[in-house]
Amino acid sequence: MIEIKALTKVYPRGKKKALDSVSLTIPQGIFGLIGRNGAGKTTLMRIVATVMDATGGEIYIDGSPLKDCKDVFRSSLGYLPQSTKLMPRLNIVEFLDYVCIMKGMKEKAERQEKIASVIETVGLVGEEKKRLGKYSGGMLRRAGIAQAIIGDPKVLIIDEPTTGLDPEERLYFLNLLSRIAMERTIIFSTHITADIEHLCKNICILEQGEVKYLGEKEAFVSGIEGKLWTYTGTREDEEQLRRDTVVTSVAYVDGAAEIRYVSNEPIFDAKPATPTLEDAYIHALGGVKR
Ligand SMILES: Nc1ncnc2c1ncn2[C@@H]1O[C@H](COP(=O)(O)OP(=O)(O)O)[C@@H](O)[C@H]1O
Ligand SMILES: [Mg+2]
């Protein structure tokens, strides 16, 4: 279990706090960290991954301060940064061999066995000869997961892995994550709520360096149950709803506005709607932007 207490980060040239007294507990399983660009997701992940120091606060791993067990924690950690350059001239086997050596695996036969096994796990069998520079975005992300899981780490930190993937690659990737989640803690960040709708039990919503919500996803979504309505009307209706309620989405279909909004009582002739994680998330952020 990872416990984060009052973590604060101020960058040397940062105008405001990138993290402002963030406290959260991350249990086993897949933990979803959601937030818009600039919310502080990467900052938080880099600090937990021990590649950057916090300005203040503490992190505890199974009850011990992280600063006292950094080396042990690092050896049980896999990290996939948001942007990775994976040595374009190497093929996946050469690249993973390099990673294994960096992780201290001295036996060649052991490395070969581990490499073959992760290549299988991430679905890159048959792509061993190709240089990484020739891989697609999805294949690179799988190669990134391969390097992160190769020592069989108990904790995986994965920063916005679905950005830039096409729908098929994205689904493959999300499935892969749920397959490797057993008996691990995976911290997964995204700005796309659909990524974690079916993946995570526990979530944290980060906004401008602060925790907006922490807890079970279902409780978060059911917070607006019975208060979400859908109504199809004019632009004037939309303006009124934007003024008087919290609008979670607007779709324009054939010149009409299909509006979903949160309000204790329905306004206009609205029908009740079933909330999604996206509705709850947009509601927590104060409504959909124009
Ligand atoms: N190296 C840096 N120097 C100064 N400010 C930074 C630096 N990296 C990030 N920030 C700022 O910190 C805040 C959080 O950024 P980040 O953690 O990258 O958010 P996210 O990953 O959620 O998009 C943003 O306001 C960003 O501009
Ligand atoms: Mg980021």
Report pLDDT digits (tens) over 77-108: 999 998 777 889 999 999 999 999 988 889 99
Closest ligand to the CA of 39: 1
Ligand 1 pocket residue status of 268, Cβ below 6 Å: no
Ligand 1 pocket residue status of 43, Cβ below 6 Å: yes
| pLDDT(222) > 80 | yes
Residue in this structure with the two tokens 């995986």, named with its chain if needed: 156
What's the pLDDT at 174?
92
Rounded percentage of the chain residues whose pLDDT exceeds 90: 81
d(CA 66, CA 48): 9
Q: Which atom of ligand 1 is nearest to the CA of 191?
A: 22
Please give the average per-residue pLDDT across 257-276, as a whole number: 95
* Residue 240, burial from CB neighbour count under 10 angstroms (0-12, 13-18, 19+): middle
What's the pLDDT at 85?
78
Ligand 1 pocket residue status of 40, Cβ below 6 Å: yes
Ligand 1 pocket residue status of 39, Cβ below 6 Å: yes
- Centre of ligand 1 from the C-alpha of residue 238, in Å: 34
| pLDDT(119) > 90 | yes
| pLDDT(286) > 90 | yes
What's the pLDDT at 112?
96
What's the pLDDT at 234?
94
Q: Quickly state the pLDDT bin for 278 (edges 50, 70, 90).
A: very high
Kindly report the backbone phi and psi dihedral angles of residue 216, in degrees, each rounded to the nearest multiple of 5, phi listed first: -75, 140
Does this model's pTM top 0.85? yes
What's the pLDDT at 68?
93
Ligand 1 pocket residue status of 42, Cβ below 6 Å: yes
Ligand 1 pocket residue status of 41, Cβ below 6 Å: yes
- Centre of ligand 2 from the C-alpha of residue 187, in Å: 13
What's the pLDDT at 183?
83
d(CA 85, CA 78): 16
| pLDDT(38) > 90 | yes
CA angle (15, 16, 19) in 5-degree steps: 140
Ligand 1 pocket residue status of 287, Cβ below 6 Å: no
Ligand 1 pocket residue status of 35, Cβ below 6 Å: yes
- Centre of ligand 1 from the C-alpha of residue 36, in Å: 11
Ligand 1 pocket residue status of 47, Cβ below 6 Å: no
Please give the average per-residue pLDDT across 110-116, as a whole number: 96
| pLDDT(113) > 80 | yes
| Mutate-to-test residue for ligand 1 from 7, 8, 9, 11, highest number of ligand atoms within 8 A of CB | 11
Going from N- to C-terminal start, the domains of the chain cover 2-217, 223-284
What's the pLDDT at 163?
86
- The 10 Å Cβ neighbour count of residue 276 is 18
- Taking only the tens place, the pLDDT of each residue in 8-22 is 999 998 789 999 999
What's the pLDDT at 164?
82
Q: Which atom of ligand 1 is nearest to the CA of 39?
A: 22
Lowest-pLDDT range, 2-11, 13-22, 42-51, 224-233? 13-22
Q: Which atom of ligand 1 is nearest to the CA of 209?
A: 14
Closest ligand to the CA of 46: 1
d(CA 48, CA 42): 10
- Taking only the tens place, the pLDDT of each residue in 60-81 is 999 999 999 998 999 899 999 9
In the CATH hierarchy, which fold is given to the domain comprising 2-217?
Answer: Rossmann fold (3.40.50)
Please count the CA atoms within 13 angstroms of the CA of 52 that sit on its side-chain side.
19
What's the pLDDT at 14?
79
Please give the average per-residue pLDDT across 198-223, as a whole number: 95
| pLDDT(182) > 90 | no
- Taking only the tens place, the pLDDT of each residue in 234-261 is 999 999 999 999 999 999 999 899 999 9
Ligand 1 pocket residue status of 17, Cβ below 6 Å: no
Q: For residue 270, what is the DSSP state?
A: P
d(CA 290, CA 274): 23
What's the pLDDT at 13?
87
